[in-house]
A and B are shown apart, each in its own frame.
Chain A
């Protein structure tokens, strides 16, 4: 945590990394990793390196609202010694609840000072959703989340909504949404917002997005505001278990022969086919694995409303409501209506029979005789 007074000479990122003992080789390796994870051509690596080296350390203010600190945990638990962490060190993280040493007034003072000094230039990172029902549900230093977000967003160059809570409301917004939680983009409309969803997001993706912002500006976003470089493909598209899906081989339970053989987890509720994230390629824990590799289906955590997606262990195609019961009620209603209509049909039939007038032979003869 950096709390130094304004420095007339601001070192570039490259200079800062070298002062931290990062070799040129290590730095280029990181740039290469970044380029491949953003699906950029290898020719772009020197450009990324050059741009990153020249980048001035931007002031970053990190606001945590209704969150579980999982996003920060994810970032700090990135494999060590981590270049991602160092790049993060190389930005001027002027305010972050969990990571800052300062507390109380001093902490708030640091935030206010950074906002004033870098007005219009700082990057605002938000994790956690914002409660709208009652401002008292979540406050920092007596300031409601809504007020703090509005104030901090006013001077931000861009906002990065880290985690599904900040990006789409996440767990706090899950039905019945007791706090009236909303996402950053529900409140802030006049600033560029980059959503980096995930519960938590992959550390490499968080730092990758920040690096992209430093080097090339705003990344290209999809319809849900996510950088296409990391969220461009579904988990299903890149899943190593995809061949089993194609062959129609599914694990039926978590301990059957199919599960042991590593078959597709679709029937066990895997949300991979409708979830966009980089887990299947970037993986977690220093590239060790990702949930599907450990035998659990994707829960779709980088998608809006994933908590209310119909159950983590129900296949995507399954309707979310109580359809069986509904069908029985419908059949009962159908029978009731059928009985009513049947009775009406019988009645009109009986009426037709009773109003039927017979003709006698005499009457017929009369008519023919006249």
Chain B
């Protein structure tokens, strides 16, 4: 298998397999969570659960002063790499084309050097959070192999994408192939690791807020 065969394979059958596992896993897990259901609460509601839920979704974007001072690195660097990932994944022209081909619609892209700068900042932020995780005794104690897997499958696509764009180390074809392959690994493990929080984060925020809202408590 030469470079071109490899690139064709990752763009063809491998992508289809990865996309299938990702979509099926994603839907399966969301369906499972939602179908669990909750017992009907017969108590007289003291507030609007929907309002409480929606408020909580937005309220948790912020953080209280004490928590911020205690976990400054986690919060600031966490925000940096999440925003960076959003920009890199959704606003690079080449990526918009992929979404367009899969979903049938696209959106405007940012200029490539801007996305490139975001990619560099994101990679640095990811390295910082990894070092922080390894050096912080409590964080290290709480970390499972799953946490490191989630970190690696997020970091490697960024690195290979950056190297493919800048023609570093290997031929662009090979690097592009490796980049797409690393994204496919990400897609496959996505529904079965904590990366699933991308889709459950607002769900759980809403759930917490709604249960408080029902009780008339400001969460």
Contacts and interface: CB of A to CB of B under 8 A. Distances in A.
Q: Do A and B come from one complex?
A: yes
Interface of A: 223-224, 234, 236-237, 245-250, 266-267, 273-274, 303-306, 308-310, 314-321, 323-324, 326-327, 329-331, 333-335, 337-339, 341-342, 345
B102 interface: yes
B25 A305 contact: no
A310 B16 contact: no
Contacts of B104: 324
From DSSP, what is the main secondary structure of chain B's interface residues? helix
Contacts of A327: 19-20, 23, 102-103
Given A246-B111, A247-B111, A323-B15, A338 B97 contact: no
Given A310-B8, A324-B104, A330-B23, A267 B31 contact: no
Interface string B19-53: 11111111111111001100000000000000000
B31 A338 contact: yes
Interface of B: 2-5, 7-8, 11-13, 15-16, 19-32, 35-36, 93-95, 97-98, 100-104, 109-115, 167, 171-173, 176
B8 A308 contact: yes
From DSSP, what is the main secondary structure of chain A's interface residues? helix
Contact of A267 (B11, B23, B27, B97): B97
B20 A329 contact: yes
A266 B16 CA distance: 23
A42 B20 CA distance: 56
Contact of B32 (A246, A321, A341): A341
7 contacts: A304-B2, A319-B15, A319-B16, A323-B101, A326-B23, A333-B20, A342-B35
A267 B93 contact: yes
Contact of B102 (A248, A323, A342): A323
Q: Which of B3, B4, B30 has the most CB of A within 10 A?
A: B4
Given A224-B2, A248-B112, A331-B24, 13 more contacts: A236-B172, A246-B113, A247-B113, A248-B114, A249-B111, A274-B172, A303-B4, A305-B8, A306-B4, A327-B19, A330-B21, A334-B26, A338-B28
Contact of B98 (A223, A234, A318): A318
